[in-house]
Amino acid sequence: MGDEKFIFKEEPEAASLTVVKQSKTKAKGKLLSVDDDESYQQSLLYSLNDFVANGEVDEILTANSATEAAALIATNEEIAVILLDVVMEEDDAGLRLVETIRNVQGNSLVRIVLLTGQPGAAPRKDVMEQYDIDEYWNKSEIDYDILKAVVGSNLRSWRSMYQLEQARLGLQLVIDASRKLASKYDKESFIQVVLNEVASLIGVGKNVPTLCVTTQSPEDTFDKSYVLAYTGSDHVQVGEPLPNHLFDKFTDLYEQAIIDHRHKFNGNLSVLCFPYDHEESGHYFILAEGLEQLSEYSIHLLQVFGENISSGFMKIALINQLSNLAYLDAELLIYNQNWLLRELQTMNHADRINTQLVVISIDNFDSQTLTFSERAMVQVINNTYEKIANLYHEVLGISRIEASTFAILCNSDEAIDDDVLVQFTNQINEFDGEMRNYSLTIVKVELADMLTSTPMQILYLSKSLLYSARQKGRDFVTYNPAYQERLLTDYQLLNDLKNAIVEHEFYLVLQPKVDLRTGQPVGLEALLRWKKNDEVIPPNVFIPIAENSGIITKLDLIALELTIEAIKALKQKGYQLPISFNATVKDLYESSYLALIENAIGIEHISPELLDLEITETQAMDSYDKVNPILEHLHDLHVHISIDDFGTGYSSLAHISKLAADTIKIDKTFITNLRDDEANQQVVELVLNLAHLCGFSVVAEGIETEEERDALLSKGCNIGQGYLYAKPMRLDELMEWLKSHQPQAVTD
């Protein structure tokens, strides 16, 4: 359960309607305190009570566990700030709740402030880099004034984000609906309709023009206006100044209209005036010449119709404004993710074939925000955008799809060379007055490779590839259709893996550990295998998927159960050999895992010396403060402890000397070609000396040649395993192998 997220129940469709109906643009918000220390929580409530008393929040909610908090979040709207303890019912309960809020519920607005009394349980640097939280404080650092300041600033941030999000949700619906309406919502088409209707009202002749003219700014005079649209005469050019004969004819009436800001009529001439609006750049004028003098009735019709025209111009201005809000990034005033999705949606088959999508993201942006000032990071964002704009001169558009990520759409024939993009990944920028380097990760996608993908699939695949590139330490990656196929394959394999757990499709193979001097077996290593139908799935295929999905702990539990059964079976045949089994830090945090070991010893009377728990050097050192006490507990039960893959991580000598362990296993990478590789020889000698000083025994992994064995013996390493002696075998095959290799017999 240690890696599972808290799952929210799906709400009925009516609930979503209620959310829309009740949404507010001026929400106060709620506070949620999640802490299993009730006395500390009471002190928080006392300090935060002013926020309720002063009307700054609607209420303060409390929960004493992550599970309880998950239920509260699912049923309470407008939670603005969560004060969250990390260690509650489980050591990582708080962090899993963060993942649930962000990834399952999809709530990116709520501000999460971690408050922990055990900083070692969740190191600040690791947590800030891996989880989407807003602030991290040790409880010892928080006093009354700091708490009020932290909550107050996060409340203000949430309100701004909440109001903008509510506005955008509404604006998105409005602008998308507007694009489907009649052409009168398009300015050019709207004006053309207006001219036709005005001409119809006043009865102009075939060759008598009705025009719409505009000015560049409110201060411009009539001689600086230009024709926006017209009907009638063929002697008028759109985009050009008004012809002289029309200029002379309408000048007096125009000047009266601009002074009074009203429509003007004289004889058979009309000037409908639509003054400058703050959303527009200049005045609009409808100039019309009738065949006859206008009657009072015609003037009245034109005045009434003028009000409709004015509303139409305001409506178009509003739509333009809504479009900016829906499709523009508020900070940089460039396109946003909504725009990118819309453009991808409107592309036809031919467009996609000739279009390239490039995603550029600033590395470690969140952690750098903690190191440098917010102002400096805003400057980095602006400078990065400017550099991208200078790099891409001719593009369909540059959009900002995340805080530190940009997406560029360009024609394939105007694309930037890969070599240039690789060089572009290294940047220099000024941070608080100092020039510092920072890096970018770039993903290039040819949309021709995604002809059947939806816009959202294209976006998700691009972001997924960006994440994968960072995980692999690559700064530039080009999308390959095989990547999507691999994702689908992994997804299917994950489902099969979950089903395999239920259907008991796993079995154990055991590889002997031998005395290198005699070849006599002295122990075994248990390795989990998966047989799906008649196919054996390699561990290097399913183990990474299990680790990434968080179900590796379930597989480790299965491996431990099968190991215990193997020990019993071997004992029945007269063999007593310790069996090592792999464990992770998360396994050791699970009470069910430790209970299985303790029950095997206390209830099933398995000799604890036959249980050899292996944990990697990296995990043992990274989680030393929490792991070592657990290892000491197992050690007290006489369970054997081995440190696997030694030499591949970074150990503290102070920690390794005090680690509750019995054996160090030298990773096979240092055994390969040992006789001729001086570097490997030095590592092996160093490990052997360290083991001697700390009182550890040593096991060498991956011995495949006699030369490697002899080299190990010459350096004083007497225990090892590898294909030179035996491959991993199923239990029945192992029994036959043991008959001819004189294993140690049971002496009850």
Residue 315 burial (CB count, 10 A): 15
Please, is 514 exposed, middle or buried when counting C-beta atoms within 10 Å of its C-beta (0-12, 13-18, 19+)?
A: buried
CA atoms of 26 and 156, how far apart (whole Å) = 11
Scan for tokens 């960006």, then name that residue.
466
| Phi, psi (deg, nearest 5) at residue 135 | -150, 155
Per DSSP, 533 falls in state: T
User: Nearest-CA neighbor of 135 among 157, 109, 113?
Assistant: 113
Scan for tokens 């691009």, then name that residue.
462
pLDDT of residue 529: 94
Q: pLDDT means per 10 residues in the chain (748 residues)?
A: 41 31 56 87 86 86 86 82 84 82 80 81 72 83 85 86 62 38 54 72 61 66 79 75 84 84 86 65 77 76 71 69 75 89 90 92 79 77 91 88 92 88 87 78 91 89 87 87 74 84 92 93 94 88 83 91 94 92 89 91 92 86 82 92 74 66 88 81 86 88 91 91 94 92 53
Decide: helix, strand or coil at residue 204.
coil
Please, is 304 exposed, middle or buried when counting C-beta atoms within 10 Å of its C-beta (0-12, 13-18, 19+)?
A: exposed
Write the DSSP string, 591-658.
HHHHHHHHHHHHTS---GGGEEEEEEHHHHHHTHHHHHHHHHHHHHTT-EEEEEEETSS---HHHHTT
Write the DSSP string, 277-318.
-TTSSS-EEEEEE-SSPPPHHHHHHHHHHHHHHHHHHHHHHH
User: Nearest-CA neighbor of 709 among 689, 723, 695, 696?
Assistant: 723
Scan for tokens 């008028």, then name that residue.
236
CA atoms within 13 A on the CB side of 520: 9
Angle at 353 between CA 351 and CA 355, to 5 degrees: 65
CA atoms of 500 and 502, how far apart (whole Å) = 5
User: Nearest-CA neighbor of 425 among 464, 373, 494, 473?
Assistant: 473
CA atoms within 13 A on the CB side of 103: 13
CA atoms within 13 A on the CB side of 266: 12
Please, is 375 exposed, middle or buried when counting C-beta atoms within 10 Å of its C-beta (0-12, 13-18, 19+)?
A: exposed
Structure tokens at 189: 């088409």
